[in-house]
Amino acid sequence: METSLVTRNIRIGARRTSVRLEPELWTALEELAERESLTINQICARVQSIRGPNGGFTSAMRVFIITYYKIQLSRAERECQRFSTSQALSA
């Protein structure tokens, strides 16, 4: 599977920069922003503020997106387990 990177301009505070991500990650980021009622620029600013001194900003964005969805999956799995347990107890 060959995916070309998509470059988009973003703002982090007053600074304008470009970010290159796979189209799937841009889609995931757009969905994340919508779910959290944030703009992509706001998310990028948050990632910039929390990222460590090692590695680049784009790598930090990838890690942030993956981590966000891992957390969401864990929450959904716990909710399913609670639902299954409550269904079993009421049966």
**What confidence tens digit (pLDDT) does each residue in 30-87 have?**
999 999 999 999 999 999 999 888 889 999 999 999 999 999 999 888 888 776 666 6
Domain assignment of residue 1, yes or no: no
Number of domains into which the chain is organized: 1
Domain assignment of residue 15, yes or no: yes
Burial environment of residue 86 by CB neighbours within 10 A (0 to 12, 13 to 18, 19 or more): exposed
pTM summary value: 0.80
- Residue 18: the pLDDT is 95
pLDDT at 91 over 70: no
Domain span at residue 51 reads 6-90
CA distance 64 to 55: 13
